Amino acid sequence: MRIHVNLASLKRTQWHEYLTRFLLGGAITVATGLIAKYFGPVVGGLFLAFPAIFPSGATLIEKHERDKKRRAGIPHTIRGRLAAALDARGAAMGTVALAAFGVVVWRFLPLHNAAVILAAALAVWFVLAIFIWQARKWRVLPPHKPEG
């Protein structure tokens, strides 16, 4: 399936669901700052990759998928859980790009312009995430042929 924008799915998300993520995002950013202040940048830095927002996003995806099936007259379904699993699989691929973001900032920030390095790290994250997404379809080994 090709990558595309689906505005209908944005309309399904209610304002309080966005508010929840805003509050969570703000809270984890404050918490990360406080942890770094009291325990130092090495421990605080771990929380720059804490999956704080992921549970709310996955729960939302499950709920939307379940509601869609209910409206179609299917009250019991595991489609929501499978959709959340797909989201988690995407996030797993994204973590490799997230680590690359960290490597770029760690290695290049002390010697170069900070704004340029943050922008470059974001670009590396984005390009690598798309590359990994595309690469999932490549075959590393040739298809198995039965003998005889």
Partner 1 sequence: MELLVRFLLGGLIVSLFAVISDGLRPKGFAGLFGAAPSVALATLTLTLLTDGKQYAALEARSMVAGALAFLAYALACVYLLAKKHFRAAPTTVAMLFVWGIFAFGGWALLSK
CB of residue 37 vs partner 1: minimum separation in angstroms? 9
C-alpha–C-alpha distance, residues 89 and 132, integer Å: 12
CB of 22 or CB of 140, closer to partner 1? 22
CB of 69 or CB of 87, closer to partner 1? 87
Q: Is-contact 49 98, C-beta < 8 A?
A: yes
CB of residue 23 vs partner 1: minimum separation in angstroms? 7
C-alpha–C-alpha distance, residues 10 and 60, integer Å: 12
User: Rg (Cα) of the chain, in Å, rounded?
Assistant: 20
CB of residue 94 vs partner 1: minimum separation in angstroms? 3
CB of residue 146 vs partner 1: minimum separation in angstroms? 28
The crossing angle, in degrees rounded to 10, of helices 79-108 and 54-71 is 150
CB of 10 or CB of 141, closer to partner 1? 10
CB of 72 or CB of 111, closer to partner 1? 111
Quickly tell me which residue has 């830095």 as its tokens.
Answer: 45
